[in-house]
Amino acid sequence: MNIAERRKIVPVLRYGDLNAGATLDTDSINMKNYSRCTFLVQWHAIGVADGTLRVYSGATDGAATTALTFHHAKGGAAQGSADCDVLAADATSSALTIANATDDNFLQIIEVDAADMDTGNDHEWLTLRISDDVGGGGQTGNVTVIAILQPRYPGNRSATALT
């Protein structure tokens, strides 16, 4: 099996600017052809204040209607350090605090199973949201997010997940 048959790799946020009062949404992913989404979130130069990461399902592209509980794990050290590739124990959350004191330059893994989405309301779109809403705001830094999708029906060439 080639890479396209096993996984769909989708860059969904390129060097997003975290700033006071900002709310950043990734590109939304249509999950109808995928059973799982793993977001690789790389934090860069986070400072000043904490932020919050949430994952939403919605009926349309960009709709953040239903907050989801998701699995997450953080790298064991800042990128470039020993143990940066050793993930912490799996945990679940519906609102993950991104701490400027401890998450700077760390890799955060977020995983959502499509079966956990609000599909009863035709919410097949998945969006990750980062907001500056903890402790009065003022978060600074940047973030990059890549989604890795597990196809329901593997093939040697997959269509876009963004429409």
Q: Tell me the per-residue pLDDT of 103-147, one tens digit each, with 9 for 90 and over.
A: 999 999 999 999 998 767 778 999 999 998 776 678 888 999 999
Provide the pLDDT for residue 145: 97
Contact between 154 and 5 (Cβ < 8 Å): yes
Task: Tell me how many degrees the CA angle 123-124-129 measures, rounded to the nearest 5.
Answer: 80
| 93 vs 58: CA distance, rounded Å | 18
When pLDDT is averaged across residues 71-79 and rounded to a whole number, the result is: 94
Task: Check if CATH label 2.60.120 holds for domain 3-151.
Answer: yes
**What confidence category does residue 160 fall into, taking pLDDT thresholds of 50, 70 and 90?**
confident
| 130 vs 6: CA distance, rounded Å | 28
Contact between 44 and 79 (Cβ < 8 Å): no
Nearest to 118, CA basis, from 52, 55, 71, 163: 55
Domain ranges in the chain are 3-151
Report the mean per-residue pLDDT for the chain: 89
Provide the pLDDT for residue 1: 60
Contact between 29 and 37 (Cβ < 8 Å): yes
Cross-strand pairs, 150: 36
Provide the pLDDT for residue 162: 81
Res. 10: pLDDT tops 70: yes
The terminus-to-terminus CA distance of the chain in angstroms comes to: 25
Provide the pLDDT for residue 21: 78
Tell me the residue type at 90.
D
